[in-house]
Amino acid sequence: MVSSALELMMPIVFISENVAAYLIEIFRNNLANLDPKEAEDVDRELQPLFTAIFDDVARKLVKFDGKLVEIGYMLWQMVWCVAGRILTGGSLEAGEKYTDQLADDLDAYFRNEIQMEKYAWRVMKMMSVVYHTVSSVFVVFKDIHQEDYLPLALHYWLLVIYTGCYGFCMAIFGIHFLYRFLAISGYSKILGTFENCYLLIWLLIPPTFGFIWAMTVGICFAPTPETTEKIQESILDSYDLQMSEIVYIAAFIWPRNETTGLRYLNTTPAIGIVIEELIVMTSLAAIFYFGFRCYHKIQEHMKVAVSVSRLTKNLHRQLFYALVMQTAIPIMLLHVPVSGLFMFPILDQDLGFFTGFVTITIALYPAIDPLPTMFVIENYRKAVFDFISTVILCRRKPSQQGELSISTEAISMGAI
């Protein structure tokens, strides 16, 4: 009834040290009372499911190397994910009590048997085995159930344009560091293009990158029936939203073949990720290259100018520290998190709730980026502290002549 190839893939489940069950036999026994034609149809439909169980669950359980109490808790959670939705009345109540009892047993095991007070990381690792079904899907969605006054297609393209703003920012970072390098190096001919009619070309570069990013998202990450089926349970569990109440873009990297149950690479979103990673890497390369050249130019100025004043040397040092911090901030808050968000689905690894960290870092960037200039450059720092002292703390500071004076030489070197 079941193909020999499938039989070779079916795992043997060890119920205890001395008792094991061969799943194919259990499956055959359950189909024994059905009509032969019905049994054959059910068998054909469930073959991909068996492969999925072996590939997604059994392998992860082996790698997890958990104790019996942990494995028992995980297996019950897998059952309860479905049973908790369809049971009612006394059966539901009994299942909930059993779930609570298993949770208490697990807590007692961690606290009493192995003396582990902080075991949240272990539970998270366990649940990553349980909730494995969306591990290869990257999703960005917008809740529209209270905004039905706009057409669905418009909601979708507004979401696409919103994601394109990230590509816009990537281009701005590269141009920003290029301009810094030109200002320090004194390339007046190229620097002059920022002041004449060529400025329009520089201004068109960020929208072009944003357009490429948005079109890549809109075409390569467009919703599909397979993706909708894949993420709908997760969206309902996590956000209590139906698929009709959201618009989304998603990269479903490793879908399953409906006939064989085996995974295959979905080339359309994979190509989209490659294009967007190229944009991120281009921006990152510009930041590193021009940032490194800026550092060397500052060092060259210091070596050539033998008789520079102490104030000028101090200003150069401050500018260098500000450059380092303003290089690290976008890399750590924008480039690395988003690149990781793309890479983990390709590797078929689930980040769980840590994906929310990316939205936090993107939101934090505009607030954090000005801080190096405000607190590293001495004159800006004094102005900020004076403002806090005078306006917020209502402390009046006695005026001192020459306190904010700065040499003409320092001003000329600080025009970056």
What does the pLDDT read at residue 335?
86
Distance, in Å, from the CA atom of 290 to the CA atom of 336, rounded to the nearest integer, reads 19
In a shared domain, residues 164 and 213: yes
pLDDT at 18 exceeding the cut of 80: no
Q: Examine the domain organization and report whether 272 and 168 are in the same domain.
A: yes
235 pLDDT above the threshold of 60: yes
Residues 168 and 107 in one domain: no
Q: What is the mean pLDDT of residues 296-317?
A: 70
Residue tagged 């409906």 (tokens): 258
Would you state the pLDDT for residue 308? 60
With CA atoms as reference, report the closest residue to 348 among 22, 56, 75, 15: 56
Residue 107 has pLDDT above 80, yes or no: yes
Domain contains 39: yes
Mean pLDDT, range 151-178, rounded to an integer: 90
Whose CA is closest to 254, among 240, 242, 241, 268?
Answer: 268
Give the C-alpha distances (Å, rounded to integers) separating 151 from 41, 157, 164, 226, 250.
42, 10, 20, 23, 20
Asked whether residue 410 is domain-assigned, the answer is no
117 and 221 part of one domain: no
Compare 37 and 367 and report the one with higher pLDDT.
367
**Which two three-digit tokens encode residue 351?**
């980040």
Long-range contacts, 376-385 (Cβ 8 Å, 24+)? 376/318, 376/321, 376/322, 376/325, 377/315, 377/318, 377/319, 377/322, 378/314, 378/315, 378/318, 379/404, 379/406
Residue type, 397: K
pTM value > 0.75? no
Q: Are residues 179 and 122 in the same domain?
A: no
Residue with tokens 């009590």: 97
Contacting residues for 287 by C-beta, under 8 A, at least 6 apart: 173, 174, 177, 327, 330, 331
pLDDT band at 119 (very low <50, low <70, confident <90, very high): confident
Q: Are residues 243 and 351 in the same domain?
A: yes
User: Mean pLDDT lowest for which of 89-103, 133-147, 174-188?
Assistant: 133-147
> Are 236 and 307 within one domain?
yes
Cα 93 to Cα 51, 232, 264, 278: the distances in Å are: 32, 26, 41, 53
Of the candidates 101, 134, 167, which is a domain's last residue?
A: 134
Residue 50 pLDDT exceeds 80: no
Instruction: Using alpha carbons, select from 102, 106, 11 the residue that is nearest to residue 50.
Output: 11
Are residues 164 and 306 both part of a single domain? yes
Please tell me whether residues 206 and 352 are part of one structural domain.
yes
Rounded distance between C-alpha atoms, residue 130 and residue 254, angstroms: 18
41 and 128 belong to one structural domain: yes
Mean pLDDT, range 227-242, rounded to an integer: 81
Are 304 and 372 in the same domain?
yes
> Residue 22 domain-assigned?
yes
Which range scores top for mean pLDDT: 24-38, 255-269, 280-294?
A: 280-294
Q: Between residues 26 and 243, which one has the greater pLDDT?
A: 243
Domain that holds residue 171: 152-390
Reported confidence tier of residue 389, pLDDT bands at 50, 70, 90: confident
Q: Which pLDDT score, from 0 to 100, does residue 8 have?
A: 36
Percent of the chain scored above 70 by pLDDT? 69
Asked if residue 242 belongs to a domain, the reply is: yes
Whether residue 330 is predicted with pLDDT greater than 90 in this model: the reply is: no
Number of structural domains found in the chain: 2
